[in-house]
């Protein structure tokens, strides 16, 4: 065999290299489906060839009535049905596991924009088209889009998720092998879609500690606090007493009573909506049209910074519960807001 052909066969892989804790179980399901599909394909073609030969047209052969077989019909109906149920159960199990990151997951924020991935870390550092993670540490990605639908994909980790404008999406993984792996946008998003890619660097604990030097402008929460003060949010959102707008201290992930009688959880998506469209959900006891609309004035990265600041005002919450359905005590407003007030930019809870 020529050496070039030997090298080609050695490099030929059905799946990309597996480098995450999720990859093994997902590959097992794919192999099961491939094997079942191959067996069914062989059986179907064998039956077609056999019956074509056995019942071929021949001279002087009188046609006979062939009666059905209840046993045969029941067998070829029940067995495929059970196999499909196994696939469904297996896939559902992996799907639900993918929706529930561990409590100790490290949260990283990713923003998709034509045509790049912008990454923000809790310590305030930033990257473009690059992601650094420690080996063996669960990582939760909270993702947003500034323009069109993108799709964040790391084939070696077997993770992929569409990133839709207007709300947050998330995925998580645990990298198991130090190395350098490709990340892509796998949803066509414009002329330069093919160039919207980058690299994931998986580092051991020592290398990751050396790399993580922190942001030059403070942590993500500190950057959010600067935005909070620069935009005059602190004028109405007082931290320790009731002002013209709801108190933000301790509000994150708590239930909030709205003026229409509904109760919502003050998670990331709610805070984001309250920043960009404060009249969408007005807190009970407060008047609408007090807080200005900041849609188009703040980037997704700045919104993430403000959310990080609001989170910092509440007790630490495990990453797997951020945005979850917790039910602590409601922080109720003490009085209705006056009809006239200066502009404020913090989320209206």
Indicate whether 71 belongs to any domain.
Answer: no
41 and 165 belong to one structural domain: yes
CA–centroid distance for 4 within its chain = 41
174 and 284 belong to one structural domain: no
Does residue 32 have a pLDDT over 80? yes
Indicate whether 85 belongs to any domain.
Answer: yes
225 and 212 belong to one structural domain: no
More confident call, 131 vs 264: 131
Of the pLDDT bands very low, low, confident and very high (cuts 50, 70, 90), residue 298 is confident
Q: What is the mean pLDDT of residues 14-41?
A: 91
* pLDDT tens per residue, range 81-120: 999 999 999 999 999 999 888 888 999 999 999 989 999 9
| Cis previous bond, 316, omega within 30 | no
Indicate whether 21 belongs to any domain.
Answer: yes
254 and 207 belong to one structural domain: no
80 and 205 belong to one structural domain: yes
Q: What domain range includes position 143? A: 15-45+76-216
Indicate whether 4 belongs to any domain.
Answer: no
212 and 228 belong to one structural domain: no
Number of other CB atoms surrounding residue 253 within 10 Å? 22
Does residue 302 have a pLDDT over 90? no
Does residue 343 have a pLDDT over 60? no
**Rounded Cα gap, residues 237 and 347, in angstroms:** 9
Put simply, whether the predicted model's pTM sits higher than 0.85 gets the answer no
Q: What's the confidence (pLDDT) of residue 129?
A: 94
Q: What is the count of structural domains for the chain?
A: 2
Residues 220 and 118: beta-carbon distance below 8 Å: no
Least confident of 25-39, 178-192, 205-219, 298-312: 205-219
258 and 317 belong to one structural domain: yes
Q: What is the mean pLDDT of residues 202-210?
A: 89
Number of other CB atoms surrounding residue 76 within 10 Å? 12
- Looking at 199, 216, 233, the residue that finishes a domain is 216
238 and 260 belong to one structural domain: yes
- For 43, counting Cβ atoms within 10 Å of its Cβ (0-12 exposed, 13-18 middle, 19+ buried), the class is exposed
297 and 266 belong to one structural domain: yes
147 and 181 belong to one structural domain: yes
Indicate whether 280 belongs to any domain.
Answer: yes
CATH of the domain at 299: 1.10.760.10
* pLDDT tens per residue, range 114-166: 989 999 998 888 899 999 999 999 999 999 998 899 999 999 999 999 999 88
Indicate whether 289 belongs to any domain.
Answer: yes
Does residue 79 have a pLDDT over 50? yes
119 and 237 belong to one structural domain: no
297 and 156 belong to one structural domain: no
* pLDDT tens per residue, range 153-189: 999 999 999 999 888 888 999 999 999 999 999 999 9
Q: What's the confidence (pLDDT) of residue 345?
A: 37
Indicate whether 166 belongs to any domain.
Answer: yes
Q: What's the confidence (pLDDT) of residue 221?
A: 83
Of the pLDDT bands very low, low, confident and very high (cuts 50, 70, 90), residue 337 is very low
Report the residue count for the chain. 349
CA–centroid distance for 52 within its chain = 51
Averaged confidence pLDDT in the chain: 81
**Rounded Cα gap, residues 299 and 275, in angstroms:** 11
173 to each of 73, 138, 270, 316, how far by Cα in Å?
Answer: 44, 6, 25, 21
CATH of the domain at 163: 2.60.40.420
Indicate whether 330 belongs to any domain.
Answer: no
Structure tokens at 286: 């407060």
Number of other CB atoms surrounding residue 240 within 10 Å? 7
More confident call, 320 vs 14: 14
Least confident of 49-53, 55-59, 337-341: 337-341
């Amino acid at each position: 065999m020529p050496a070039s052909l030997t090298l080609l066969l050695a490099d030929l892989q059905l799946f990309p290299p597996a480098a995450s804790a999720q990859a093994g179980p997902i590959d097992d399901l794919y192999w099961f489906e491939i094997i079942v599909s191959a067996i069914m394909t062989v059986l179907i073609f064998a039956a077609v060839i056999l019956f074509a030969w056995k019942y071929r047209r021949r001279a002087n052969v009188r046609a006979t009535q062939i009666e059905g077989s209840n046993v045969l019909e029941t067998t070829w109906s029940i067995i495929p049905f059970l196999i499909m149920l196994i696939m469904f159960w297996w896939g559902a199990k992996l799907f639900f596991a993918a929706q529930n990151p561990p409590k100790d997951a490290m949260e990283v924020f990713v923003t998709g924009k034509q045509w790049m991935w912008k990454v923000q870390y809790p310590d305030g550092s930033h990257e473009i088209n690059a992601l650094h993670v420690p080996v063996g540490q669960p990582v939760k990605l909270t993702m947003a889009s500034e323009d069109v639908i993108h799709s964040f994909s790391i084939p070696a980790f077997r993770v992929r998720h569409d990133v839709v404008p207007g709300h947050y999406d998330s995925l998580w993984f645990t990298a198991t092998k130090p190395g350098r792996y490709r990340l892509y946008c796998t949803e066509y998003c414009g002329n330069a879609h093919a160039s919207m890619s980058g690299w994931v660097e998986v580092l051991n604990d020592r290398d990751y500690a050396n790399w993580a030097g922190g942001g030059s402008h403070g942590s993500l929460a500190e950057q959010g606090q600067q935005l909070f003060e620069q935009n005059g949010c602190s004028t109405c959102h007082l931290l320790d007493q009731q002002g013209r707008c709801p108190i933000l201290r301790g509000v994150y992930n708590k239930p909030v009573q709205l003026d229409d009688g509904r109760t919502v959880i003050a998670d990331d998506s709610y805070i984001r909506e309250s920043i960009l469209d404060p009249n969408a959900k007005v807190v009970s006891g407060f008047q609408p049209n007090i807080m200005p609309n900041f849609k188009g004035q703040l980037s997704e990265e700045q919104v993430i910074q403000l959310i990080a600041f609001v989170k910092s005002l509440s007790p630490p919450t495990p990453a797997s519960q951020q945005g979850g359905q917790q039910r602590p005590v409601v922080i109720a407003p003490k009085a209705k807001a006056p009809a006239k007030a200066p502009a404020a930019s913090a989320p209206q809870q």
